[in-house]
Amino acid sequence: MITRGANAEADSIAARHDTPKHTPSWLRRALPDTGPQRALVMSSFVNRIGTGMFLATSALYFTVIVGIPARQVGTGLSIAGLAALLGSVPAGTLADRVGPRTVQLVTLAVQTVTMALFVVVHSWWAFTVVAALDYVADAANNAARGALIGRIGGERPGLFRAKLRTFVSVGVVAGTLLAAVAIQIGTRGAYVTVILVNAVSYVVCALLLLRVPNFGALPKPAGTRRFAALADRPYAAFAALNGLINLQAVVVTLVIPLWIASRTQIPHWAAAAVFGLNFLVGTALMQPVGRRIKTTEQGGKAMRVAGLAIAVGCAVLAGSNSGPRWSETLVLFVGAAVLCAAGVWVTAAGFSLSFELAPAHAQGQYQGVTLLGLDAAGAVGPALLTALVLGLGAPGWVVLGLGFAAAGLMGPAVTRWAERTRPTVVSVGDAAPEPA
């Protein structure tokens, strides 16, 4: 079990940034508790606005404006995704040694350059190289950010990460809405403006990140291996299981829209409505669910609840391609709502367990392993899930649900196995940060 002590300098910073007492209670619960936490929230929020703008326009930019065939764009992104698998664990290890903020600042500088280079990309090979560099930098940034969250998250970094998730989700939606303006204009200049604004967002993100303390390395126990996280079989089992259950997001964002378009009479606007439903459910439930998961035992049980709930949602969706259009639509939204709610439990459990099961001195490296599990599942999951559901139809949904239920039922056992092999007590907050 991991406990986190108080850091004197961090406490003094927090004391100067407490939420005013006249702030409404619901807003006090939603806002992070300390100045460094709020600085990281603002930094991530700005970054995700730019990310939302780019993600919403990138496919159209590279295919319509640059002229790269859609299939080649997909191939290039697949190569970039495979390259990103190599970045998370080494970057997390480096963050543990030189400080997570330093690694984040370097990766943000790299992403600023790669984003600007997209403006001058005119061939498939150049696109693939730049995308691979960008994906590797993004994976490294996420690993370092996980380590930083572990250092400033207080007694419950998983809860802080849940709060952070709420705000960055709002940022992505805001960016997507702004991107709609560029898509409506449809000119090269409009798309280039979106890309350059995203590049600038990395710079602003880095400047805001300077307000977060520059934590130094924590001492390693004697005999610790360099890449101990990769040899930690119980944690690797958790990371793999977490990656599998998080494929719920692929079901919501990819499988359901394809199911609507190819297997049902449901109007296509329902796909966009499912996206909106997923955002609303996640925003409303993420923090309340995150507060309920306080121990590793609760985290394992939450994975079990999530797996069974996803199975129920899949069973409901199996009935969304029979009957009149109105009943198909109603059944689809009921099943999608169950999946969206289950996704909140999946995410909250993963956040809590990824910190609680990781030793304090190697938070970055272990966060890298968690990301490796997510990315590996994300690399192979979309093709398998779509082939299963679209190929088999309603029986495919049932098989998919049984797979998620089996994964969820393994949650408590894997969690107990990992917890038995953890150090008894590890202190995180004793290393004073260097001056920011």
- Name the pLDDT band for 8 (thresholds 50, 70, 90): very low
Q: Which residue has the tokens 């309603």?
A: 394
Which range is least confidently modeled, 8-12, 38-42, 335-339, 369-373?
8-12
Q: pTM for the full model? A: 0.82
- Name the pLDDT band for 22 (thresholds 50, 70, 90): low
**What pLDDT, in 10s, does the model give residues 219-231?**
777 666 777 888 8
pLDDT, position 60: 86
- Name the pLDDT band for 399 (thresholds 50, 70, 90): very high
Q: CA–CA separation, 105 vs 200, rounded Å?
A: 14
Which range is least confidently modeled, 243-257, 262-276, 387-401?
262-276
Q: Spell 101-122 as b/e; 16+ CB within 10 A means b.
A: bbbbbbbbebbbebbbbbeebe
Which range is least confidently modeled, 20-29, 264-273, 295-304, 401-410?
20-29
pLDDT, position 153: 83
- Residue 89 amino acid letter: V
Determine contact, residues 236/77, Cβ cutoff 8 Å. Answer: no
Mean pLDDT of 173-183: 89
**What pLDDT, in 10s, does the model give residues 247-265?**
999 999 889 998 998 888 8
Please calculate the CA angle 180-183-187 and round it to the nearest 5 degrees: 145
Mean pLDDT of 85-103: 89
Of residues 110 and 220, the one with the higher pLDDT is 110
**What pLDDT, in 10s, does the model give residues 287-306?**
899 989 989 999 999 999 99
Given a cut of 90, is residue 310 above it in pLDDT?
yes
Given a cut of 90, is residue 216 above it in pLDDT?
no
Determine contact, residues 170/45, Cβ cutoff 8 Å. Answer: yes
Q: Which domains does the chain have, with CATH numbers?
A: 30-209 (1.20.1250.20), 228-427 (1.20.1250.20)
Where are the alpha helices (H) located in 318-430, listed in sequence order?
Answer: 325-356, 363-392, 394-409, 411-420
Tell me phi and psi for residue 120, to 5 degrees.
-105, 10
DSSP 434: B
- Residue 108 amino acid letter: L
Which range is least confidently modeled, 21-25, 284-288, 348-352?
21-25
- Residue 389 amino acid letter: V
Q: CA–CA separation, 90 vs 109, rounded Å?
A: 18
**What pLDDT, in 10s, does the model give residues 311-339?**
999 999 999 988 889 999 999 999 999 99
Q: CA–CA separation, 115 vs 55, rounded Å?
A: 12
Which range is least confidently modeled, 6-15, 93-102, 251-260, 279-288?
6-15
Closest Cα to residue 114, out of 104, 100, 129?
A: 129
Given a cut of 70, is residue 193 above it in pLDDT?
yes
